[in-house]
Chains A and B, each alone.
Chain A
């Protein structure tokens, strides 16, 4: 795919596949176009060249109705969690379930409690997002992303801004959900710890190349990548950076 902002080229010739059930990390330095890429992958914006296919359906080619159907099979956790501030955590999670399923109200309530149990927020159903910590908001955002039991989960910086312990808990939660539910997970991050803990495969973008400079097992990339940019990312040395 190709992505431009005006005359400014952001991504040029980026091409990769995500396999069913895997956890793929898209990583790279700030400004390399990770979030730009994700916004295209979830169909919020269109690419300027090329195509993105989900379950074989081209996002740019399919109509709005098709896209809506596809979106029900996708869960997204935004970097800021993007919870609706005027609704409780429970209402936030219930929102897509009530809209897209025929479940009766009492069953929706039970399901919301289950989703909140899954992310460890069972006791916070009636709290507003503003009453929760950053880590809790991320988990609530994850519960909402999981509301319709999606096939594919997109996570934008799921553990950014969290303390190491909370970040590790979030990583474990993502891995646990992906393993047990068989969800395909695409995770955008530049947290080394998350990449190593969670990702089975990684795709690395570079702001200068405006595309992919490496892809594969992140542990192998860290240990033996021949690409200098990849080595520096995984093993940052202060003298080299400065």
Chain B
């Protein structure tokens, strides 16, 4: 292995009348230049020469790190109004200096960074981009709805194999985490309610409180947020990866409709599975409430179940399931949309996944608010 601790021999001699001679010998390359690059120019700054001659005849190894050292010597001397020259330059050194344009005739001067654009230009550009995004978003929504309509008319046109795979990953695989979180939320809700209601002797209403807040409201929202985090991010990253690696372009050139091929199986799987997950979430949350009521409040199991059934109506359950289906559509749609909008490299995949989760949660909350108003006033 080459000796990377090797140091070049450096001799700086004054020849009189501001003329200096710097003789470099040995390796002037990656192994040594980093050490010299600060020291030598600093020494020259202290006593700026009128003429610096660098003698390279005894240089044994030379590379672009060596050229960098010479560059810095040259700049230091010329900054102080002196002249710089090379002497006794071996052919290989000359070749490397030529490669890096040392002479300065073809000096590399990269273009200055683009100046920030005028604020009006930036505003206009951003408006145009937003309008473009807006159009794409609605066109995509239209494509998905039309494709869904086609599936309803021609169920065989759906890729059922892919759909079943997505049903498994979106639905079945999510049951443990949905169940665990729902059980804990049911426990917390019942516990907090019990602490307050016990003061008024109204312990028995814990069952109704848990049932009415979980089944039509919290169950669907919790499930949707978990699905957004688990499956929405997965949809966006899968599709964005396909997008940046030109797989979607390949599908199009083969005559496939990417929406039908990639989006519909995900949308259908989510719309079928999320209401079922929501149902599981309701059951687990009610079980959490039951656990607290039986252990803390001396309520019997049958009493808790009877109060829960009395508090709930079929409409509450169906309303919760309907909301879940809508949330599922929104999650799958916006996540696939973010995947299709990805541009660039690997970082675009991360951005698409993050954006899919944030947009999904925003849409879930927004639509839940709309549903709350609709149910109360209509």
Tell whether A and B belong to one assembly.
yes
A interface residues with partner B (beta carbon < 8 Å): 55-57, 70, 73, 84-86, 90, 101-104, 107, 110-111, 113-118, 122-123, 125-126, 128-130, 146, 148-149, 151, 176-177, 179-182
Determine whether the beta carbon of B347 is less than 8 Å from that of A86: yes
- Neighbouring B residues of A182 by C-beta, 8 Å: 61, 92
Q: List 18 A-B pairs, Cβ < 8 Å.
A: A70-B1, A85-B346, A85-B348, A86-B344, A86-B345, A86-B346, A101-B30, A114-B108, A117-B99, A118-B100, A125-B110, A149-B63, A149-B64, A151-B2, A180-B92, A180-B95, A182-B61, A182-B92
Determine whether the beta carbon of A180 is less than 8 Å from that of B110: no
A207 to B34, CA, bound (A): 46
A117 to B113, CA, bound (A): 18
Residues A114 and B110 in contact in the complex (CB < 8 Å), given A148-B30, A149-B29, A181-B96: no
Determine whether the beta carbon of A117 is less than 8 Å from that of B100: yes
A85 to B245, CA, bound (A): 13
A73 to B4, CA, bound (A): 10
Closest beta carbon of chain A to B135's beta carbon, Å = 24
Determine whether the beta carbon of B72 is less than 8 Å from that of A107: yes
A70 to B37, CA, bound (A): 24
Determine whether the beta carbon of B108 is less than 8 Å from that of A117: yes
Closest beta carbon of chain B to A12's beta carbon, Å = 29
Residues A111 and B344 in contact in the complex (CB < 8 Å), given A101-B34, A118-B99, A126-B110: no
A90 to B63, CA, bound (A): 19
A114 to B2, CA, bound (A): 24
B interface residues with partner A (beta carbon < 8 Å): 1-2, 29-30, 34-35, 37-38, 61, 63-65, 67-68, 71-72, 92, 95-96, 99-101, 108-111, 113, 344-348
Q: Which of A101, A113, A114, A148 has the most CB of B within 10 A?
A: A114
Determine whether the beta carbon of B111 is less than 8 Å from that of A123: yes
- Taking a contact as CB atoms closer than 8 A, the residue among B2, B38, B110, B346 that contacts A73 in the complex is B2
- Neighbouring A residues of B96 by C-beta, 8 Å: 180-181
Residues A111 and B64 in contact in the complex (CB < 8 Å), given A130-B345, A180-B92: yes
Nearest opposing residue in chain B for A57, CB measure = B1
- Taking a contact as CB atoms closer than 8 A, the residue among B30, B99, B101, B347 that contacts A149 in the complex is B30
- Taking a contact as CB atoms closer than 8 A, the residue among A110, A125, A151 that contacts B71 in the complex is A110
Determine whether the beta carbon of B64 is less than 8 Å from that of A115: yes
Determine whether the beta carbon of B72 is less than 8 Å from that of A102: no
Closest beta carbon of chain B to A242's beta carbon, Å = 26
- Neighbouring A residues of B64 by C-beta, 8 Å: 111, 114-115, 118, 146, 149, 181
A55 to B2, CA, bound (A): 8
Determine whether the beta carbon of B345 is less than 8 Å from that of A111: no
Closest beta carbon of chain B to A59's beta carbon, Å = 13
Nearest opposing residue in chain A for B102, CB measure = A114
Determine whether the beta carbon of A114 is less than 8 Å from that of B345: no
